[in-house]
Structure 1
Amino acid sequence: MNHRRTFLKQAGMLAGAFSAGSLFNQLHAASWEQAAQKISGLSPELAAADEDYWSVIQQGFTVSPAIINLNNGGVSPSPRIVQEAVERYNKLANEGPSYFMWRILDQGREPLRYKLATLAGCQPDEIAINRNATEALNTVIYGLNLKAGDEVIGTLQDYPNMIQAWRQRALRDGIVYKQLSFNFPIENDDEIVAAYEKAITPKTRILHVTHIINWVGQIMPVRKLCRMAHQHGLEVVVDGAHSFGLLDFKIPDLECDYFGTSLHKFLSAPIGSGMLWIKKEKIEKIWPLTCNDKPNSGDIRKFETLGTRSFPIEQGIGEAINFHTAIGSKRKEERIRYLKNYWADKVKDIPKVKLHTSLKADYSCAICGVSVDGMTPAQLDGALFGTYKIHTVGIVWENISCVRITPHVYTRIADLDKLVHAIEEIASGKKA
């Protein structure tokens, strides 16, 4: 009973995750601090290769030893403490849903909003908590006051759900949706910016930019695109599904107007959690995706009238933030880039093997596309899993045809050595 009263007190005041009694503090704080002290004198780039430190981080996950999961670009596993937080809050909610959900757990959204804003480098009143990047960005896409003839510029390589949302606005409202096409990798920001700028006409109102192209991991020059767009009087919507929690940046530094992301990718928050950021002065003009009694207000919370939703998932985000913050954004970014380069450098010169992603730090981080001559992406993906139990994903989209491979902080060097061995054997024809 004493334990229960303590937990209820934490849940009521701070939703647990941001209190001294958080699961992270209970299970990891001491050992992580000790491990971090050993690399305190190393730059993030050098710390990225310290396997003793990262072995401590890896112990926080519960990934299956039966497969090697290298499709973290789709959705990442949550650390143990995040899973346990969701389970704990779910059990609590089911003891009396209408009481514990609405009167206890619902009070945790404001502390969570504050912590997300701290991570994002923005004001809390610019952050709405929702379920994924699709919901966040569809809120903006459908909420903008655009009229027939107004133009939006995106690319064929953007995420399908965003493409379809803009196409539906074109069908419904008569806007003009124009799509550029790029042949990635591109190691020249000016080439990308010039392509967008060339497509602008007097009717253009919006640029839609994907921060990291999900198919092959190309990092787009978002800030340069935003500055160019603003010079033309345009607004910029940024799809940050694969960048938030991976790259070390603050959202306002991108200089965009709207930003949506999924938190269940590189932040490793519970599956089905996301975030919308809208520049403070622009909130008022965006219509909510779902109903609200004050749809024209400047309160970011108008985008959270989703009805009954999973409060346990929301509160599990808090422990994911603790986990991420304890590693450090820059250290985490460099570790994941190191893991991607580790395997990619070893396979890039193998006969018949082709990389579809730049290995330069300015243009990629976690995601890398690879192909083997004479094999379709489905065949290569099937061979990797069927023979080696390496889980990846085959990509065939517009002018992109490859297998996408994405490690995360829990990925072991030994697993990447197995990947390299597998690609060597497959490319040589020994296994297929």
Structure 2
Amino acid sequence: MTNRRSFFRKTFLTAGTLSLTSFFQKSLAEDISQALLDLNNLSPEAAAQDEELWRRIQQAYTTSNSIINLNNGGVSPQPKVVQDAANRYYTYCNEAPSYFMWRVLDQGREPLRAKLAHLAGTDPDELAINRNTTEAVNTVIFGLNLKAGDEVILTKYDYPNMMNAWRQRERRDGIVLKWLDFDIPMESDDEVVAKFKAAITPRTKVLHITHMINWTGHIMPVKRLCDLAKANNLYSVVDGAHTFAHLDFKISDLGCDFFGTSLHKWLCAPFGTGLLYINKQKIKDVWPLLASPEGQEDNIRKFENIGTRSFAIEQAIGSAIDFHQAIGSARKEARLKYLKQYWVDQVRDIDKVRFYTSTKPQFSGALFNFGIDGKDAGPVHNSLFSTHKVHTSPVKYEKVNGPRITPHVYTSIYDLDRLVEAIHMAAKV
């Protein structure tokens, strides 16, 4: 006790030491750091259920207490350490923008590229840093040399921005789009692969594959589909918006030619950050959206000639990677799946509640969609928010008609208990 009193006396009374506010900020940071260290001593299965540790890690976020945000699939909040990094770099740039942006922070892109490549399991020379999945995948869609009559196989459940890009190429260049449909929920990889395989003809050039369906959270058999593309000498384009830093995998594991993702989703990087992966042998096959100098045909950096960018948020990606790695990809996936299963198990037997996503762990992660028979997604979404301030994403599209629920690592069990209460009320009305 004497030592404790001496510590606090020295901390608060000595001139030039920390203020009360900064002391507790430092104490909180130390507690979060210790929680991350403790987490790394646990297996993914044990870590997923350690509520005390996750409560401490949740303090790394500055999320609102006035709503329960279960739409992290749209964009996720950043831990404060990432916010602080972006703000610090931004302030630094404003001291002399043309000097500190172009001559200092711009020099950090290659170390950042290497750090991202380490996380992705790729060669740094296969990764371009950009703003989001749409930019990444659209770069490939518009950059490939396709001609009238060439076929692209895709599904009705791909992301709208990607479907619209392919439709524009259809109108502009006369390519042929072949749309696949599936039963919802999907629970057979064999059926998915068989449908793609049956659609291939001698004129097929591209398989467009969404790694995790944004409407429902279904995980597609990407490796098998990429192998199918390779066996038929086709390009494989993967939309990985919802899987990178959500599921425990390496891009190199998939065997794809192209992969795009948003880092501001599950990695919790600054808003408007993403990456494009292109197999080194295929870089020359893609024209950049914005012109690059001659001589860059085989250089992944030809996709980064966009003029002035936000160097501050780009460099802060590094802090998001550090935070993610401190948790660990396997432990993060296990926790996210645990959170999904926690609330799903409590509502599966509610009268009129139906699932548009499989509950089997191999087919879904944190992203899940449910509906209430007789009600559209919008009113159900509104009910969840009006009664319990639960923010979701309503989906009424094709065979899906319900709110999309996406918790993240900062989501508490209390938050999910409130979601369950809200679903009970919505189903009774």
**TM-score using structure 1 length:** 0.91
Match of 1:76 in 2: 76
Amino acid of the structure 2 residue aligned with 1:134: T
Q: CA deviation at 1:39?
A: 4.8
Match of 1:177 in 2: 177
Give SS of 2:154's match: strand
CA deviation vs aligned residue, 1:353-411 (integer Å, no higher than 9, x gap): 11111111110001110111221100001111122111001101222211100000000
Match of 1:151 in 2: 151
Match of 1:362 in 2: 362
Give SS of 1:179's match: strand
Match of 2:319 in 1: 319
CA deviation vs aligned residue, 1:183-228 (integer Å, no higher than 9, x gap): 2221111000000001111100100000000010000000011111
Q: Is it true that 1:273 corresponds to 2:259 in the alignment? A: no
Amino acid of the structure 2 residue aligned with 1:69: N
Distance across 2 between alignment mates of 1:37 and 1:309: 35
1:225-374 residue pairs with structure 2 within 5 A? 225-294=225-294, 297-374=297-374
Distance across 1 between alignment mates of 2:300 and 2:339: 37
Preserved CA contact (<8 Å) 1:392 1:403: yes
Q: Identify if the C-alpha distance between structure 1 residues 296 and 98 changes in structure 2 by more than 3 Å, giving closer, same or farther.
A: closer
Q: CA deviation at 1:41?
A: 5.3
CA deviation vs aligned residue, 1:102-159 (integer Å, no higher than 9, x gap): 0111111111100000000010000000000000001100111111111000011000
Distance across 1 between alignment mates of 2:40 and 2:111: 30
Match of 2:21 in 1: none
Q: CA deviation at 1:77?
A: 0.6
Match of 1:188 in 2: 188
Q: CA deviation at 1:296?
A: 5.5
Distance across 2 between alignment mates of 1:137 and 1:38: 38
1:71-110 residue pairs with structure 2 within 5 A? 71-110=71-110
Match of 2:23 in 1: none
Amino acid of the structure 2 residue aligned with 1:367: L
Q: CA deviation at 1:38?
A: 4.2
Q: Is it true that 1:414 corresponds to 2:414 in the alignment? A: yes
Amino acid of the structure 2 residue aligned with 1:64: S
Q: CA deviation at 1:302?
A: 0.5
Give SS of 1:72's match: coil
Gaps of 5+ in 1: 1-25
CA deviation vs aligned residue, 1:34-90 (integer Å, no higher than 9, x gap): 335545553202210101111121010000000000000111011111111111111
- The two structures, once aligned, show a CA RMSD in angstroms of 1.5
Q: CA deviation at 1:295?
A: 6.9
Amino acid of the structure 2 residue aligned with 1:232: N
Match of 2:400 in 1: 400
Preserved CA contact (<8 Å) 1:295 1:302: no
Preserved CA contact (<8 Å) 2:242 2:265: yes
Give SS of 2:208's match: strand
Preserved CA contact (<8 Å) 2:133 2:274: yes
Distance across 1 between alignment mates of 2:202 and 2:296: 27
Counting matched residue pairs gives 404
Structure 1 residue runs of 4 or more that deviate by more than 2 Å after TM superposition: 26-43
Match of 2:134 in 1: 134
Match of 2:14 in 1: none
Higher mean displacement: 81-90 or 272-281: 81-90
CA deviation vs aligned residue, 1:14-45 (integer Å, no higher than 9, x gap): xxxxxxxxxxxx88885455335545553202
Give SS of 1:178's match: strand
Greater Cα radius of gyration, structure 1 or 2: 2
Distance across 2 between alignment mates of 1:38 and 1:275: 31
Identity of aligned residues (%): 58
Distance across 1 between alignment mates of 2:97 and 2:221: 45
Preserved CA contact (<8 Å) 2:151 2:206: yes
Preserved CA contact (<8 Å) 2:395 2:401: yes
Distance across 2 between alignment mates of 1:171 and 1:28: 56
Distance across 1 between alignment mates of 2:199 and 2:295: 33
Amino acid of the structure 2 residue aligned with 1:211: H
Distance across 2 between alignment mates of 1:178 and 1:172: 16
Q: Identify if the C-alpha distance between structure 1 residues 273 and 28 changes in structure 2 by more than 3 Å, giving closer, same or farther.
A: farther
Give SS of 1:276's match: strand
Match of 1:23 in 2: none
Preserved CA contact (<8 Å) 2:36 2:57: no
Preserved CA contact (<8 Å) 1:287 1:295: no
Distance across 2 between alignment mates of 1:202 and 1:232: 9
Match of 2:10 in 1: none
Give SS of 1:291's match: coil
Higher mean displacement: 366-375 or 112-121: 366-375
Match of 1:166 in 2: 166
Give SS of 2:167's match: helix
Q: CA deviation at 1:235?
A: 1.4
**TM-score using structure 2 length:** 0.92
Distance across 2 between alignment mates of 1:174 and 1:134: 22
Match of 1:3 in 2: none
Distance across 1 between alignment mates of 2:165 and 2:37: 48
Give SS of 1:161's match: helix
Distance across 2 between alignment mates of 1:367 and 1:28: 30
Amino acid of the structure 1 residue aligned with 2:358: S
Preserved CA contact (<8 Å) 2:32 2:60: no
Preserved CA contact (<8 Å) 1:133 1:261: yes
Match of 1:12 in 2: none
Match of 2:115 in 1: 115
Match of 2:9 in 1: none
Distance across 1 between alignment mates of 2:351 and 2:227: 42
Q: Identify if the C-alpha distance between structure 1 residues 305 and 337 changes in structure 2 by more than 3 Å, giving closer, same or farther.
A: same
Match of 1:207 in 2: 207
Preserved CA contact (<8 Å) 1:286 1:296: no
CA deviation vs aligned residue, 1:289-337 (integer Å, no higher than 9, x gap): 1111127511100000011111111011111001000000000011011
Give SS of 1:408's match: coil
